[in-house]
Amino acid sequence: MPNRIPSSFIDEVLARTDIVEVIDGRVPLRRAGKDYQACCPFHEERTPSFTVSSSKQFYHCFGCGAHGSAIGFLMQHERLSFPEAVADLAGRAGLTLPSVVEGAKQRGSEYAGLSEVLTRAQRYYEQQLRAPAGRAAVEYLKKRGVSGAIAGAFGLGFAPEGWDQMHSLGADAAIRDALHEAGLLIRRDGREYDRFRGRLMFPIEDYRGRLVGFGGRVLGGGEPKYLNSPETPLFHKGRELYGLFRAREAIKRASQVIVVEGYMDVIALAQFGIEHVVATLGTAMSVEQFERLFRFAPEIVLCFDGDRAGQAAAWRAVETVMPVLREGRQVSFLFLPEHDDPDSFVRREGAEVLRERLARPDPLPEFFLRTLSAKTDLSRLDGRAKLLELARPLLSKMSPGVLRTMMLAQIEERAGMPRLGLAREWRLTEEAPTSSIKRQSGTAGRATIVRIALALLVQHPELAARAGDLSVLQDSGRAGVSLLCLLIEHLRQEPAKNAAIVIERFKDSEHSHILASLAIWQHPVLAQDAVAEFEGALRQLRQQAVRQRTEALLERSRTEAGLSSAERSELNELIEQRGRAAKDASGTAKPGVGK
């Protein structure tokens, strides 16, 4: 997880990284003034709108909005996780990940031991499938229409009947302990026996192709029908997806990933030439799984039975995916006929019929609206109100953006109350200091003092050291000033060398979108003397705060209650401050910022 890597180390990695070099090695860049440009690697375009700033160590696409640091680029372009991207850049910079050194060495040794016994078990299971003991498993596969080539491609195997087959993998204590840790052996009541017995075995790889566990399908009448490896240091059911490593290239070609519920569904579809398919491991989709799949494709199609259980599973997926759903990401549903699964459907109807259905899935927004509408009577006023209340908690989970706005509009229309302004009513609006500024460079849009100060600070973090006393600003109440003070105090305590480091530190905060927008904002004022503009902006903000507080105290002094002695002292001090400020400003040029 990102928070396991010290922020100071992440800062050091970014400080030693040249984002131009990182991106240019993957997307050829050409110089455009002081920055670099290319056609965006994240969406189709003919005219370059992808910009990389060497000074800010930040990239931004004015077409699709993709932006971030070198870490973010590797995550989006290479489909790496946050720790993997940091490790990649650290290696380039000659830095060693400070993974709590001794503990990391111990875990590394433990993982190596688990990988070794899993690999031994995989070879054993494959051998047993070809041996006389595996005849029943082979017959089962033939009956299901699975070819030998596909069985080999997926590494299928067989766990024979018996309680101690795993003993053949090694007799020493270290091997036995690793077998137990990997979930292949069970120890209970002083006994030790195999977890998988009499089962067709499906090896489970993580998205990098490492063997992490197994799934076993019983061939007789035992229960459970499917049995997975337990949670281990290598295997987490809510994180992995069956077949993802094998399907990666097909997913990339299709720009779509199909999610099914069973191992045999993945195998059957692959045999019919539909290879951009993965399966969950007996659990509902998790947020982490959705995020991982979105790194590989912009569209996820969830394939369920059309019965009540399938509809319920689809709704659970809606509730789960909402926090990570936004424009550029699509989730759809394909509901098969009742009592059908992808395996049975493709074998009966053929690949082309399934492909036609996959080309016309049920989009999540439509499914969302239809499902909620079915839960209330829209002919009644209170029924329409109920629809809004059912939608509210789910839409509140979504990130602000075009998709959420459009879904809100659909809900309003279905409730018969267009232009109701649900975003304001539900307090889903987003304060965005740059909302009135056009994104194109050279556009001299009107800029507030706060916006100028924030943008200068993000783009030149060293200015925080020049901010001076913030006490008069803390309680000004002006929009954006609290964020400005927060950022100044943060950068005083933990200085940053460039905008990329600032954005990376705040990427999981509520201010992420605003700061990222300011990092790439181009305005004539920002191209002038950064120190003079920043100090001038803060001087004006202080003067306004002093004036505002002075007027508030003067107004209160005219009331019957009057001022306390402390407030009278404060008022006198403020009046003196205004006098000194006016005297100082008489010989000082005003900065070029708007009010």
Over the stretch 185-210, which tens digit does the pLDDT of each residue have?
998 887 889 999 999 999 999 887 88
**Residues 430-452: what's their mean pLDDT?**
48
Contact between residue 328 and residue 289 where contact means Cβ atoms under 8 Å apart: no
Lowest mean pLDDT among 131-135, 177-181, 254-258, 478-482: 478-482
pTM: 0.60
Residue 435: predicted pLDDT: 32
Higher pLDDT, 491 or 420: 491
pLDDT on residue 433: 34
With respect to residue 238, please indicate whether it lies within any of the assigned structural domains.
no
pLDDT at 159 over 70: yes
Both 62 and 171 in a single domain?
no
Cβ contacts of residue 249 below 8 Å, gap of 6+? none
Under 8 Å between Cβ of 23 and 52:
yes
115 falls within a domain: yes
Per-residue confidence (pLDDT) for residue 477, from 0 to 100: 64
For residue range 36-62, list pLDDT tens digits in order.
999 998 887 888 989 999 889 999 998
- 534 φ/ψ sector (left φ>0, alpha ψ -120 to 50, else beta): alpha
Does residue 182 have a pLDDT over 50? yes
Q: Residues 512-537: pLDDT tens digits?
A: 888 888 888 877 778 778 888 888 88
For residue 423, count other CB atoms closer than 10 A to its CB.
Answer: 17
Contact status, residue 117 vs residue 234, Cβ threshold 8 Å: no
Pairing of strands 50-53, 58-61: antiparallel
Residue 186, both tokens: 């069970």
Q: Which of 505, 512, 502 is CA-nearest to residue 462?
A: 502
Sheet holding 30-32: strands in order across?
A: 30-32, 35-38, 50-53, 58-61, 67-68
List pLDDT tens digits, range 343-382.
Answer: 999 999 999 999 999 999 999 999 999 999 999 998 898 8
E strands of 56-145, at which residues? Answer: 58-61, 67-68
pLDDT at 136 over 60: yes
* Distances from the Cα of 187 to the Cα of 195, 218, 237, 279, 411, angstroms: 10, 21, 22, 30, 55
Q: Is residue 144 part of a domain?
A: yes
What CATH number corresponds to the domain at position 81? 3.90.580.10
Residue 474: inside a domain: yes
81-99 mean pLDDT: 81
Confidence tier at 138 by pLDDT (50, 70, 90): very high
Same domain flag for 116 and 69 = no
- What is the pLDDT, as a whole number, of residue 220? 77
Instruction: Give the integer Cα–Cα distance in Å for 393 and 400.
Output: 14
Q: Could you tell me the CATH number of the domain that includes residue 196? A: 3.90.980.10
Same domain? 421 vs 351? no
Express each pLDDT in 377-420 by its tens digit. 988 988 888 998 899 889 888 877 888 888 988 888 888 876 55
Instruction: Tell whether 280 is covered by a domain.
Output: yes
Q: Residue 315 pLDDT more than 90?
A: yes
Q: Classify residue 401 as left (phi > 0), alpha (psi -120 to 50) or beta.
A: left
Same-domain check for residues 416 and 304: no
Confidence of residue 424 (pLDDT cuts 50, 70, 90): low
Q: For residues 71 and 504, is the Cβ–Cβ distance under 8 A?
A: yes
Tell whether 565 and 492 lie within a shared domain: yes
Does residue 594 lie in a domain region?
no
- Based on the fold, state whether residues 472 and 410 are members of the same structural domain: no
What's the CA gap between 403 and 64, in Å, rounded?
Answer: 14
Residue 593 is predicted with a pLDDT of: 46
How many domains does the chain fold into? 5
In terms of domains, do 53 and 107 share one?
A: no
CATH number for 563? 1.10.860.10
Q: Which of 46, 67, 92 is the last residue before a domain boundary?
A: 92
Distance of CA 32 to the CA centre of its chain: 31
In 3-state terms, what secondary structure has residue 200? strand
**Same-domain status, 51 and 143:** no
State residue 275's pLDDT score: 97
- pLDDT score of 546: 76
- The predicted-structure confidence for 327-347, as pLDDT tens digits, reads as follows 889 999 999 998 899 999 999
Instruction: Say if residue 146 is in the same domain as residue 216.
Output: yes
Whole-angstrom distance, CA of residue 11 vs CA of residue 89: 12
Provide the mean pLDDT of the chain. 84
SS (H, E, C) 26-37: CCCCEEECCEEE
Question: Are 64 and 85 found together in one domain?
Answer: yes
Q: How many CB atoms lie within 10 A of CB 25?
A: 9
- Helix, strand or coil, per DSSP, at residue 284: coil
pLDDT of residue 589: 45
Q: Pick the more confident residue, 113 or 26.
A: 26
CATH number at residue 421: 1.20.50
Domain end: 92, 123, 147, which one?
92
Rounded Cα–Cα distance for residues 201 and 183 (Å): 14
Is the model's pLDDT at 431 over the cut of 70? Answer: no
Select from 195, 228, 261 the last residue of a domain: 228
Per-residue pLDDT tens for 228-247?
A: 999 988 888 888 999 999 99
Per-residue pLDDT averaged across 111-123, rounded?
Answer: 86
Mean pLDDT along residues 73-96: 84
Q: Which of 457, 523, 514, 518 is nearest to 484 (CA)?
A: 457
Question: Is residue 439 included in any domain, yes or no?
Answer: no
What interhelical angle do 82-92 and 7-15 show, nearest 10?
50
Give the pair of three-digit tokens for residue 372: 């909620």
**Per-residue pLDDT tens for 260-303?**
999 999 999 999 999 999 999 988 999 889 988 988 899 999 99
> Does the pLDDT of residue 2 top 50, yes or no?
no
Query: What is the pLDDT confidence band of residue 33, given thresholds at 50, 70 and 90?
Result: confident
Percent of the chain with pLDDT over 90: 38
3-state SS assignment for residue 126: helix
The confidence score (pLDDT) of residue 120 equals 94
What's the CA gap between 486 and 490, in Å, rounded? Answer: 6
Alpha helices per DSSP H over 206-327: 244-254, 263-271, 287-296, 308-321
Residue 481 domain flag: yes
How high is the pLDDT of residue 432? 36
Asked whether the beta carbons of 329 and 341 are under 8 A apart, the reply is no
Q: Residue 279 has what DSSP assignment?
A: E
Same domain (yes/no): 27, 145: no
pLDDT higher for 153 or 97?
153
Q: Say if residue 580 is in the same domain as residue 550.
A: yes
Starting from the edge strand earliest in sequence, which strands make up the sheet with 226-228, in order?
Answer: 157-159, 199-205, 211-218, 226-228
User: H or E element: which one contains 305?
Assistant: strand 299-305
pLDDT at 575 over 60: yes
User: Structural domain of residue 135, as residue ranges?
Assistant: 101-228
